[in-house]
Chain A
Amino acid sequence: MTGAGILLMALVTGAATWALRALPTLMARSEPRPGSVLARFLAATGPAAIATLFMASVAPQLFPVPRDLLPLAAGIIATVAAFLPRRSVILATLAGAAAYGVVFALVA
């Protein structure tokens, strides 16, 4: 792909990505009726999306060939254990990453 082709690809993708992120926000002006199908769908979308993104982010380590399972388990356990006492997202994230890196080094 030429330099101009790369720029064209980036511009088209960037414009469409902006539209996907912004237009639904700009167009959804009214609150869905409480208890309606749309309200329940949107309320469930958030937790479902975050659960999906978590699973999708660890799936490459599980399928098709499992790899680095001990660091993965250590990272997950440390994240949960660090989150529970204070419900701090920052602390839990850093603890999980640190545990993953330490166990990765020990296993290697």
Chain B
Amino acid sequence: MTPNPGFRAGALAAVPIMLGYFPMAVVFGVEASRVGLSTLQAGMLSVIMFAGAAQFLALALIASGAAPLVAAGTLIAINLRHILYGPALMKAAGQPKRRWAALWSWCLTDEVFAQALATFRTGQRFSEGWITGLGLCAYAAWVGGSVVGAWAGEELLTAWPALEAGLGFIVPALFLALLMSVASRESLPAVAVALVATVLGALVFDATGAILSGMIAGALAGVLIR
């Protein structure tokens, strides 16, 4: 019997996420310094929140002078989609034991969820060491990039616009590659409805509304269309 993949295998699987996270986090750090946050504060936001889209919105809320608890409520609403990730992953992994879920679940971002799901769909067995390696390396890249960006300032990116553009496409490319790896004939209705609902949500609501619309409509389509 092959042993369960461990922490090191999870860390290797995190490489594409880290390649996407680090430059994105650098951009976050640069933006944080623009709104007046220190390197320590920018790093602290990434350590405590670890949620890319919410952190960028947090900078806008800080700059606008929003009340802290009102800002927190807005940011929590953006992260509501994460409530679906754990149960979907556990289903794909065959409901394994999860003694340390309170720890590794902290790292269950969009990208970590998508990478883990794609891996389990290929038949790889679940291990808490593997998912901890995946999540912690992604976390380290995000926090490290935030600190580097806040420390270096905006000159870091403006000198290399093509590199910045290419790095900015890493996350969409990662999602597209992961989508191709998990998509099957059975999931096509869910995927198609999710894509259309996301576009409609973006036109009618905002980015958060688009994401919630796409995920919920796609999942419901998977239930209703058989």
Contacts and interface: CB of A to CB of B under 8 A. Distances in A.
User: Main SS of the interface on chain A?
Assistant: helix
Contact of B215 (A21, A31, A48, A100): A48
Given A12-B69, A18-B106, A48-B191, 4 more contacts: A13-B54, A14-B49, A53-B211, A55-B194
Interface residues of B, number: 101
Contact of B54 (A8, A17, A25, A98): A17
Contacts of A6: 37, 41, 45, 62, 68
Size bracket, chain A contacts: 35 or more
User: Main SS of the interface on chain B?
Assistant: helix
Interface stretch (B2-10, B137-145, B146-154, B166-174): B166-174
Contact of B51 (A17, A30, A40, A83): A17
B102 interface: yes
Interface string B200-217: 001100010011001101
Contact of B203 (A17, A31, A52, A63): A63
B219 A90 contact: no
Contacts of A17: 49-51, 54, 76, 79, 82
29 contacts: A10-B44, A10-B58, A16-B76, A17-B79, A17-B82, A20-B76, A20-B79, A20-B80, A24-B85, A24-B87, A26-B101, A26-B102, A28-B87, A40-B222, A41-B220, A43-B222, A44-B187, A44-B219, A48-B190, A50-B117, A50-B175, A55-B198, A55-B199, A56-B210, A59-B199, A79-B176, A101-B169, A102-B162, A108-B162
